[in-house]
Amino acid sequence: MTKEYMESLEAIVDQLTLAAVLEMLERISHKKAEKLRNHWKDETSAKLWDKAARQIEQINIDV
């Protein structure tokens, strides 16, 4: 990870809150799983993205 990416992500977290960023990452992960399932017929990768989404959902951040 480059310094520029870290700074960009930090700015997003500062602007939106960590909870909002995590919620968006969860949604993105679910959408990626859906696309892999529906468009690429890749159930193995879809399950990994669903697992990631569930793990992100379990993180309860109120900062």
Predicted confidence at residue 1, as pLDDT, reads 78
The distance from CA 11 to its chain's CA centroid, rounded to whole angstroms, is 17
* Residues near 27 by beta carbon (within 8 Å), at least 6 away in sequence: 53
User: Mind listing the pLDDT tens digit for each residue in 46-57?
Assistant: 999 999 999 999
Could you please report the per-residue DSSP string of 18-31? HHHHHHHHHHHHHH
User: Could you tell me the two tokens for 17?
Assistant: 């809150």
pTM strictly above 0.85: yes
